[in-house]
Amino acid sequence: MSQVSLSREEAIIGQLKARFPEAIEETKIDRARRVTIHFEKDHVQEIAMFMRDELGFDHVKGVAGVDLPTQKKIEVLYFAGSYSNAEVQDFIVILKAKLPRDNPIIASVVSVWESAHFHERETFEMFGVKFEGHPDLRKLLTLDNWEGPPPMLKDIKFPEMGQR
């Protein structure tokens, strides 16, 4: 009797689903070595620690935001990778959580992945996502005198050039 072996992508998904059955909402193998995991936002730190400690994903390559105004949501994406674990060095796992657009709050993962520090600051500034527990959540890119809404929201209106 031959045994069917799981792909590495299926194995990662299976481990996350087994550990967090209540938090994993949807999974997808995007292509070889690329997996997307949609999760419930209240589990971000637990999932990040499991990814780091059990699966070997030792850093975040980036954190991004996506404005979804018709859904009244902001989606936060974490791109997890590894330098130190040869088994997953060529992998990127994209962790996605949807937050309410009117009050986008999620726990910071800087205590788990220090590399998330500046990425969370950028996502805070550009999309208004508040990362609870972030050690230094302040502007990173806009001018000090920027008082407007987060500039990457799709419904923001900028003044015409020359008008003030």
CATH number at residue 34: 3.30.460.80
Q: Which residues have a Cβ under 8 Å from the Cβ of 9 and sit 6 or more positions away?
A: 29, 32, 33, 34, 35
Q: Is residue 153 one of the residues assigned to a domain?
A: no
Q: Is residue 156 one of the residues assigned to a domain?
A: no
Alpha carbon of residue 121 to chain centroid: 13
Domain total in the chain: 1
Q: What is the pLDDT along the chain (164 residues), one digit of tens a residue?
A: 444 556 999 999 999 999 999 999 999 999 999 999 999 999 999 999 999 999 999 999 999 999 999 999 999 999 999 999 999 999 999 999 999 999 999 999 999 999 999 999 999 999 999 999 999 999 889 887 888 789 899 887 766 655 55
Element containing residue 11 per DSSP (H, E): helix 8-19
Q: Is residue 102 one of the residues assigned to a domain?
A: yes
Q: Is residue 52 one of the residues assigned to a domain?
A: yes
Instruction: Please give the Cα distance from 85 to 10 (Å, whole number).
Output: 18
- The model's pTM: 0.90
Instruction: Please give the Cα distance from 128 to 130 (Å, whole number).
Output: 6
Which of 80, 76, 77 has its CA nearest to residue 105? 76
Q: Is residue 146 one of the residues assigned to a domain?
A: no
Q: Is residue 148 one of the residues assigned to a domain?
A: no
Domain that holds residue 36: 8-132
